[in-house]
Chain A
Amino acid sequence: GAVVSQHPSWVICKSGTSVKIECRSLDFQATTMFWYRQFPKQSLMLMATSNEGSKATYEQGVEKDKFLINHASLTLSTLTVTSAHPEDSSFYICSARDVQRGLNEQFFGPGTRLTVL
Chain B
Amino acid sequence: AQSVAQPEDQVNVAEGNPLTVKCTYSVSGNPYLFWYVQYPNRGLQFLLKYITGDNLVKGSYGFEAEFNKSQTSFHLKKPSALVSDSALYFCAVRDTENNFNKFYFGSGTKLNVKP
Q: Point out residues on A near B: beta carbons under 8 Å.
A: 4, 6, 32, 34, 41-44, 46, 49, 51, 57, 91, 93, 95, 97, 103-111, 113
Which A residues are CB-close (under 8 A) to B107? 42-43
Given the known A-B contacts A103-B101, A106-B103, are A43 and B42 also in contact in the complex, defined by CB atoms under 8 Å? no
Assess whether A108 is in contact with B36, with CB atoms less than 8 Å apart: yes
Report which residue of A42, A44, A105 has the largest number of chain B beta carbons within 10 angstroms of its beta carbon. Answer: A44
Number of A-B residue pairs at CB separation under 8 A: 54
Q: Which residue of B lies closest to A46 (CB)?
A: B102
Q: Which residue of A lies closest to B100 (CB)?
A: A49
The 7 closest A-B pairs by CB, nearest first: A108-B43, A108-B44, A110-B43, A49-B100, A103-B101, A43-B105, A43-B107
In this complex, the interface size class of chain B, counting residues with CB under 8 Å from chain A, is 20 to 34
Assess whether A110 is in contact with B51, with CB atoms less than 8 Å apart: no
- State the main secondary structure of chain A at its contact with B: strand
Which A residues are CB-close (under 8 A) to B94? 103-104
Assess whether A104 is in contact with B51, with CB atoms less than 8 Å apart: yes
Given the known A-B contacts A103-B94, A104-B49, A110-B43, are A97 and B36 also in contact in the complex, defined by CB atoms under 8 Å? no
Assess whether A44 is in contact with B46, with CB atoms less than 8 Å apart: no
The 0/1 profile, CB within 8 Å of A marked 1, for residues 74-115 of chain B is 000000000000000010001000001111111110000000
